[in-house]
Amino acid sequence: MKGDPMAKGRIKTVNDASHFGFITPDGGGPDIHFSFGKIQRGDPKPGAEVEYEVGQGRKPGELTAVNVVVTDAPPIRPAAAPPPPGGASSLPKECVFDTFYGGDGFLKPEIFFTAPRAAAEKFRAAGLKASQFRQLYQAFLAFAGPLRDNRMEFGAAREKFGVMYVERVVRQCERGHLPPVVADLMVDHRTLALSDRREMLALFRYLTNIYCYFGDSDRN
């Protein structure tokens, strides 16, 4: 259960359509269920080695894997869609943060001005449409708003973030509906956002600022 040492195993099967899979524990016993929203790091592919905690499932006596970390694979990074003509395929360094907070405990001023302006320019150059950006923003707002207002626990927000990441970022990029440079924003800050409530809310603030610079019309 939660608080016990991390268990180890190997992913047996994955259902991409339903966003879940099963892990075969190293120590034997029945396969254990996990959902994509419980993945903290890595790409859940069959055969991948994982570490995880065992939690209580929805039904009495049912167990599920939580805080799943893929230990022998790199983090998920969408790569199916090629860069649009004339667009960059990754964000400039000034748009990527290892923390959104300065030494004084306040949000870094860069996330309000220089970084979101530069990111918005990259997004436009990559061919992002306002409607695509709006969908991503609203998907994030759906749980960032309740988290900000203390109507949702951080653990629940982390799970929602995982679902949004898979459905709105990874899948949309794979289908060519989202420019890779936009996916890079979430990829580059995913671990940071999942590490701390304040960092997740700061990422949403950063995305909001980019959205403001980008504009809500394809004519901009």
Read off the CATH number of the domain in which 22 is found. Answer: 2.40.50.140
Q: Which domain holds residue 131?
A: 93-214
Is residue 78 in a domain? no
> In the chain, count of helices (H) and strands (E)?
6, 6
Is residue 87 in a domain? no
Number of domains in the chain: 2
User: In terms of domains, do 107 and 200 share one?
Assistant: yes
User: In terms of domains, do 137 and 204 share one?
Assistant: yes
Place of tokens 């440079």: 181
> pLDDT value at position 218?
58
> pLDDT value at position 217?
60
> pLDDT value at position 82?
37
User: In terms of domains, do 172 and 125 share one?
Assistant: yes
Residue 47 half-sphere exposure toward CB, CA atoms < 13 A: 0
**Average pLDDT per 10 consecutive residues for the chain, totaling 220 residues:** 74 81 90 85 84 83 86 48 41 93 93 96 92 93 94 89 88 86 90 91 96 74
Is residue 88 in a domain? no
User: In terms of domains, do 99 and 65 share one?
Assistant: no
pTM: 0.61
Please give the Cα distance from 128 to 121 (Å, whole number).
10
User: In terms of domains, do 113 and 184 share one?
Assistant: yes
